[in-house]
A and B are shown apart, each in its own frame.
Chain A
């Protein structure tokens, strides 16, 4: 996969990241590198810290220790204070698209305005050009006919496709997905998976937290199993999903592939 650009340039670097909520240590020293154009999937039982790790990458959670880098630039900057850090993190976040389990579309804005709000406000893109960009993105996710509809009128699968388009509108360097299909009815999962698949084909760098073992195996370049705040095992997805080394991974997969 991706032989042309297989340059091993690190895009996301997670180095020895620790995070606690009160007395509960949720991340106990996580290391992970996602190279440019690669797709890494994170799996693991509920409460293992997958979301916390993903949210730490774009600083929705503030890590206690360690470093996170995006394309060589350090995301967490304990040395920066107040407005200086605000400016820094807002800039960093413009380069990272995030897709949430519950979509979090803006209900007071039409579909296209959801997508174009950030480019218009943050990149000062003229409304006409923003609309063209918005239509192009809606086309990409197969929802051009829904441009002027409000999110409440969309199905879950459509909402998530709009949410992906919204994240893409800022032309991010990486995309983060936190269980993008977990809140969907089973018959709507496929349409979202297809959009993610098409991003994979366009060499988008992606970090995916998922419960969809089949999808993770097919689409990823690398897979990681987390449990109790530590990385139990990471390797090529073919190996992780078929014959993992660790017993904990085996048990987890046995439970998940049966249900």
Chain B
């Protein structure tokens, strides 16, 4: 192992790691709102709207993220959808993770006992107030856990945007290998950085989870 080289390239990799984090956070942020929209669409009485949401989720879950990325980046321009690489990574990442996240949100909401809704409605609370005051506080813990897992998937997926030459952690590593011919050192270093990022995220999730769970341990 060439430790001098590893120290030398660290600043460049750290800089690229920020791009990885940036893309992931933005995808997660927008993905969350898209996911909430998908959950909302599935609650419609009017069936075609529900079918649309279900169909979208099925298509996204039934195709590889990599293919979705290539399709939008290379296929998009022919229908006038021209995105720069980073935007493309964020947008495809968000629309991809939203499909999984909507299922996670729906699952956590459905995990709340139906008796809770009945008790709330029988007191005279409306649907929205029941959701906000009764259901969401109780589904929060599970929701945080499952969204956390998806955040980690998102971070790992972000390495794939290297294919459309976004200079994130994996692309930068490949570039450095091209000029140094030291794949072992550089990939080890980049893997280590993924570990740090992902464990930091897991720590944050755990804290948030415990906060959401606190009423059961009081």
Contacts and interface: CB of A to CB of B under 8 A. Distances in A.
Interface of A: 58, 60, 86, 90-91, 93-94, 96-98, 100, 102, 104-109, 117-118, 121-122, 150, 152, 163, 166-167, 170
Residue of A90, A100, A107, A108 with most chain B CB atoms under a 10 A cut-off: A108
B118 A104 contact: yes
A109 B113 CA distance: 15
B199 to A, nearest CB: 29
A109 B137 CA distance: 10
Nearest to A87: B126
Contacts of A163: 119
Contact of A108 (B119, B122, B138): B138
B216 A152 contact: yes
Residue of A58, A91, A93, A106 with most chain B CB atoms under a 10 A cut-off: A106
17 contacts: A60-B118, A86-B126, A90-B124, A90-B126, A91-B124, A96-B122, A98-B118, A105-B119, A106-B119, A106-B138, A109-B215, A118-B123, A121-B125, A122-B125, A150-B215, A163-B119, A167-B123
Interface in B103-140: 113, 115-116, 118-127, 129, 133-134, 137-138
B47 interface: no
A167 B137 CA distance: 21
A100 B119 contact: yes
Interface residues of B, number: 21
A170 B138 CA distance: 23
Given A60-B118, A94-B124, A109-B215, 7 more contacts: A100-B118, A107-B216, A108-B137, A117-B123, A122-B124, A166-B123, A170-B123
A104 B125 contact: no
Contacts of B138: 106-108
